[in-house]
Amino acid sequence: MAFSSTAFLSTVRTLPAQVPLLRPISLSTPLTSKLFVCKHPISALRSTGVSSLTNHLNPARLVLKRKASMTGVVTDKGKGDIKVFDSEEDLAVSLAKYIANISDKFAKERGAFTVALSGGSLIKSLRKLVDLPHLSSVDWEKWHVFWVDERVVPKDHPDSNYLLACDGLLSKIPLHPGNVYAINDALSAKGAADDYETCLKHLVQNQTLAVSESGFPKFDLILMGMGPDGHVASLFPGHPLVQENKQWVASIENSPKPPPERITFTFPVINASAHIAVVAAGASKAHPVHVAVGDGQNPDLLPVQLVSPEGELAWFLDKEAASKL
């Protein structure tokens, strides 16, 4: 079912530094000999287990609609669907289903599904996508995978979001290697951001990527984690990049979260999406969640409060992250 991880990596991640676009459309150019192998072998098909329900939320504050494995769902126009799960395991099961449904819709409607990933614990929460039924039912051939943000390090570096996604997901699903859009890690942060933006423009032109009314690329789905300080992508509290409204992809050389050099989608691109899911688990996320979707206060605006897609917003929270709601 899945292809060889070594073949996948050798195709996607070893392009020479000068190749301007990120997808390996210039495979006539010889690849370098340096390969690395994903830590995990192609996954065996595993079965899922869904744990039972308990309502931990205060019904006076949240209007609950029961769903399997979920403690509650609140729909607040502007804040999105807030889904709270008993456990991160339940969250992962539901997240996989949500992604599979959106993938199905766009694969049928547009013949392509464009999805952008952040780094961090999100990738672990995507693990159920490689379980049945999704592994066999999702139309992986239609997937085009991007990064909302990336650390400007070699792709085999432990800090690489590409490597994280490869190990946790990409090597386990039968994607077309040409549809995985990694950064050019041989460039400076500024060069890599410009290069990625050029790549997106090319994909808008050839209609792989949709375009929003505002003229920004419109991803079918953006999947994002959130930091305990309320950052999303590599848009950090108080950083001027939070205000960027022209560039599609920006560089940052002084990220407060290491490593310092990164590239990131800007808010106009993030908010042009058809769907955004913000995924947060653990008590360290309770404060920014409280501020973004509850009545919590913070002296300064948190970047996560600026997530407001043209399309639909969904929050996938475990009960610890939702503990202040």
Ligand X SMILES: O=C(O)[C@H](O)[C@@H](O)[C@H](O)[C@H](O)COP(=O)(O)O
Residues that bind ligand X in the complex, under the rule CB under 6 A: 118-122, 149, 151, 161, 225-227, 231-233, 257
Q: Looking at beta carbons only, is 135 or 224 nearer to ligand X?
A: 224
- Residues 54 and 57: their CA atoms lie apart, in Å, by 9
User: Do residues 255 and 261 touch, judged by C-beta distance below 8 A?
Assistant: yes
232 beta partners: 235
Instruction: Give the number of other CB atoms < 10 A from CB of residue 63.
Output: 11
- Residues 190 and 178: their CA atoms lie apart, in Å, by 24
Q: Looking at beta carbons only, is 62 or 222 nearer to ligand X?
A: 222
Q: Output the smallest distance, CB 108 to ligand X, in A.
A: 29
Instruction: Please state the separation of Cα 279 from the chain's center in Å.
Output: 9
Q: Is 176 helix (H, G, I), strand (E, B) or coil?
A: coil
- Residues 99 and 167: their CA atoms lie apart, in Å, by 19
Q: Looking at beta carbons only, is 82 or 270 nearer to ligand X?
A: 270
Phi, psi dihedrals of residue 301, rounded to the nearest 5°: -65, 135
Q: Output the smallest distance, CB 287 to ligand X, in A.
A: 13
Q: Output the smallest distance, CB 67 to ligand X, in A.
A: 23
Q: Looking at beta carbons only, is 72 or 120 nearer to ligand X?
A: 120
The torsion region of residue 80 among left (phi > 0), alpha (psi -120 to 50) and beta comes to left
Q: Looking at beta carbons only, is 117 or 274 nearer to ligand X?
A: 117
318 beta partners: 85
Q: Output the smallest distance, CB 6 to ligand X, in A.
A: 25
Instruction: Please state the separation of Cα 1 from the chain's center in Å.
Output: 24
Closest residue by beta carbon to ligand X: 120
Q: Output the smallest distance, CB 229 to ligand X, in A.
A: 8
Q: How far is CA 27 from CA 18, 212, 225, in A?
A: 13, 31, 33
Q: Output the smallest distance, CB 169 to ligand X, in A.
A: 14
Q: Looking at beta carbons only, is 10 or 264 nearer to ligand X?
A: 264
